[in-house]
A and B are shown apart, each in its own frame.
Chain A
C-alpha cells in the first residue's frame, strides 16, 4: 500500500492541470488568467514558466503529449495554442501563443486535443462546441461549430480513440455523442457501435442524467465502445450504446465533477466528495468498488505528508506550533488546532484533498491499463494516486464528518 504523492502547488484553487508527455512538467491554472508551468526537480515542483495572454480566467488546459503543444481555453472566449520555439535573439526556448478564433460569444469552458493531436475541441457557454483544425494554407486554426441539439453550456468533452467521435456533457442535463469529422483532417472512420456513416454534427447518442443534474464529466472507455458520465444529481451512469443499456449508480455522497477510465472495466471519479472513487463493471453491470484515499487514518499533523517544500526542508521545525502557523498562512485558519487534529474547531477533512477535486487525469501506464492518476483540486494540491491501491469506503457520508 503506497501512499499517494501529494504536492501543494499553491493556496489558490487549481482549475485545471495537464502534464506533458514524459510527466516531467505540469501546466496548471491557479484560478487566474495565467498558466503556470512547473518542472519536476527531484522531489519538488518548481515554477519554470508562466504563460500570460488570456485576459480572463483560464478554464481548461490540455497538453498534447507527442507534438508538445499546449492549448488553453478561457472565459475571455478565446483559445490559445502554445508552441515551444527558440527565441531568435536569446536562443532560449519560449512558449509562443497562437490565437484561435472560436467565433463564440460566451466563455470557453473546456478544451481537449484529439488523440491524433491534429485538432482540438473547445466546449463553450454559447451552446456550441468549437472543433478546431489547422489550416496549412492560411497558417491559422479554423473552427467549426457543433451546435444542434445543445441547449445549454457544455461543461466537458472527451474524444473517442478514433479521432472522430466526441462526447459532451452539458448543463441541459444531457450527455451526447457527436461526430466531429473534418474532411481535410480525418480519414473515414471504421464503423463502430456508435454508427457507420458519420458526417459532421451527427448525433450518435443522447442520454439524460437520471435525476436531472448538469452533466459535469464524460469519458469514453479505452476502446471507445462505452461511455460514462457523472452528473450533479450524485450519479454516475455507464452507457452501452447497442441497446442502449444504461447502468446508473446513485451515490450516497456529494456529486462528482470529473472522471477518467483506467481500464475497459474500471473508472475513477472524483468531485465534491474530495476523494477519488473507483467503479468497476462490465456489460453485465457496474458497482462502486472503493476509494483511492484511505480515510480510516487521520492525515492531519498534517497535510504535510509528502509535501515537497514544507515537508523536506523544515525537518524538526515541523511541530505543532509550526503546523498552526502554516495553517494560518495557507488556509487562513486563525484558531489553533491541536496536533492530533481533533477538536471542535478542526475543519481538516480525513481525505488528502481538503476541498473539491476539479480534475482527474491518467498519469502513467497505457490507455488500456492506467497505473496512476493525478488529481488537482480547489485546495491547491496536486496528488498522484496508484489506481490499484483501493481501500474500502468508510462511512456512508464520504468525506463529510459528522460530529
Chain B
C-alpha cells in the first residue's frame, strides 16, 4: 500500500469526531472496574453453587465494564458470563431471559454476540450461545439486536 494511504487523516481535521465523544464514559476508575468484575466473578460462583442462575446473571449484567482501558475486566466479565450460560439447563433459558430487565437483556445480547465473535475462546460454545440467542430474541425482539449493533458502549 502506498504510504499516503496510511496517513491518519483525522489528525488533520480540527472537527474530528472522536469515539469517546459518542457515548458517556464509565464514571468508575479502570482499577475499580476490575475490582468490581473480580468481586462479581466470586459472587457468581457462589450463586451458581446454590443454583441461582437469575441472581448470577443479574449480578454480571448490571454495571458491565465498557469503554477503553478495561480489557482485563471485560475478559473476566465475559468469562463469568459464559460460565453462567453454559451451566444453565436449556429448558430454563426462556423463563430466565423473560425475567431480566430491558437493559439487562440488551447487555446479555451484547455478550452473546461478543462470544459468537470469538469461537473457540475459553469455554465459548456456539450451540449454547445460539440457544440463548434464540430465546432472547423471542423475548426482547429484534430491537434488542439493533441496540447491540448501535451501542458504542461495547462490553
Partner pick for A212 among B17, B22, B102, B142, CB 8 A cutoff: B22
A232-B146, A234-B146 provided; 18 other pairs, C-beta below 8 A? Answer: A127-B15, A152-B17, A172-B22, A211-B150, A211-B151, A212-B152, A212-B153, A233-B147, A235-B147, A250-B147, A252-B141, A252-B143, A252-B144, A253-B142, A253-B143, A397-B141, A398-B141, A398-B142
Alpha-carbon distance between A22 and B153 when the two chains are bound, in angstroms? 48
Of all A-B residue pairs in the complex, the 3 with the closest CB atoms, nearest first, are A252-B141, A234-B143, A213-B150
Could you tell me the dominant secondary structure of chain B's interface residues? Answer: helix
Complex contacts, A400 vs chain B, CB 8 Å: 142
Contact call A252/B142, Cβ cutoff below 8 A: yes
**Interface readout for B129-155 with A: 1 if CB under 8 Å, 0 if not?**
000000000101111101100111100
Contact call A250/B152, Cβ cutoff below 8 A: no
User: How many Å from the CB of A208 to the closest CB on chain B?
Assistant: 7
Contact call B140/A252, Cβ cutoff below 8 A: yes
Complex contacts, B2 vs chain A, CB 8 Å: none
User: How many Å from the CB of A369 to the closest CB on chain B?
Assistant: 30
Contact call B24/A208, Cβ cutoff below 8 A: yes
Nearest residue (CB) in B for A253 is B143
Residues of chain B at interface, number, CB under 8 A: 20
Contact call B143/A250, Cβ cutoff below 8 A: yes
Which residues between 8 and 42 of chain B lie within 8 Å of chain A, taking CB atoms?
Answer: 15, 17, 21-24
Alpha-carbon distance between A211 and B141 when the two chains are bound, in angstroms? 16
Residues of B within 8 A of A (CB): 15, 17, 21-24, 102, 106, 138, 140-144, 146-147, 150-153
User: How many Å from the CB of B120 to the closest CB on chain A?
Assistant: 29
Complex contacts, B144 vs chain A, CB 8 Å: 234, 252
Of the A-B pairs whose beta carbons lie under 8 Å apart in the complex, a sample of 28, sorted by A's number, is: A151-B15, A151-B17, A152-B17, A172-B17, A173-B22, A211-B153, A212-B22, A212-B152, A213-B147, A231-B150, A232-B146, A232-B150, A233-B150, A233-B151, A234-B143, A235-B147, A250-B106, A250-B147, A251-B143, A252-B141, A252-B143, A252-B144, A253-B143, A255-B143, A255-B146, A398-B141, A398-B142, A400-B142
Max chain A Cβ within 10 angstroms of own Cβ: one of B22, B102, B143: B143
**Interface readout for A165-209 with B: 1 if CB under 8 Å, 0 if not?**
000000011000000000000000000000000000000000010
Complex contacts, A396 vs chain B, CB 8 Å: 138, 141
**Interface readout for A225-237 with B: 1 if CB under 8 Å, 0 if not?**
0000001111100
A254 is an interface residue with CB less than 8 A from chain B: yes
The answer to whether residues A397 and B15 also contact, given A211-B106, A233-B147 and a CB cut-off of 8 A, is no
User: How many Å from the CB of B140 to the closest CB on chain A?
Assistant: 7
Which residues between 347 and 403 of chain A lie within 8 Å of chain B, taking CB atoms?
Answer: 396-398, 400
